[in-house]
Structure 1
């Protein structure tokens, strides 16, 4: 029992340790968030953003972390984004044989999927869940801020810097091309005049 209390205390002190992107069960979430304290002390991972598993709208983040329920595959957050709608109608939920609760559904504003529940009335042993946002891990995904790793590489021929000398060369080439085009236009005009004169004589 003392070992369990130590684990709980250690977990509460280390809220900002994060986990990989994906839909995972709550045990894996907690292991990543709290279980690897020694290894992750020097980690630079950012906070986790939780997103709707269907339409990918953000619904909350690990800064608002309140805990998880291993047996129910749920995570609890203290705050959520405006993309989460709290339903108005209460319904009964039987958690265990002698534990009946009143809950309301959490609905995604974007796709109207049910993402979890809020416990509005609970027996004493479940009071820690009351008025927190309980998300079903199966219905949400997550993204660790700062975990992006793909970068564009600067490969291929190196571009020549635009110097005064380079600019002068380009301007000279443009002038020569312009003169050539004018000369060709003048020659075409002379040919057209010659053709018209030949037609008039005929």
Structure 2
């Protein structure tokens, strides 16, 4: 039985000693549907002539960091590079997965479009991280997005959290090393000027409010790209 049939036979929940439990992503939704409180400070302007206080818009992502500091993992690995591995009395051929391009920004940074963009961006980000380590010896790469959730930390900047797990296989010497996926998470701040990212604790390991445990990339993250 191959790995995908095995996973299918046991369902979508995989519990790991270090990585937490991987579920089916049920219960995810927009932050507007959550009852968790948020103790994050808000930025305000001076009172208006009518003594009404308005929330100040945050600086655009690119301005907050400066485009000269932008960095994201890149790779230039050819797909289809063959590796022959002896398995018992047989020789199996594995092919490298190769590099792929980051997705282009959506036309509008609201609704489902920005959440889909972030999920696809993180897949490529992780792919490049693994390719940087294994190069053309990476022969299987399967990022599994468990859930995507948006928070209203810095409107109109979109703050999007993605929880995921990565299965990969890489040629090592005369064998192929495979790993079971462990839960991870990343949080993005994105607007029409660029996007920033920071790592986060996988939600399966969070005790208490996931919202309160989610870092703000504008405070704790790094700029990946200016648009």
TM range (shorter): under 0.3
Q: Larger C-alpha radius of gyration, 1 or 2?
A: 1
Higher strand fraction (1 or 2): 2
Bigger relative contact order (CA 8 A; separation at least 6):
2
Higher helix fraction (1 or 2): 1
TM-score in terms of structure 2 length: 0.23
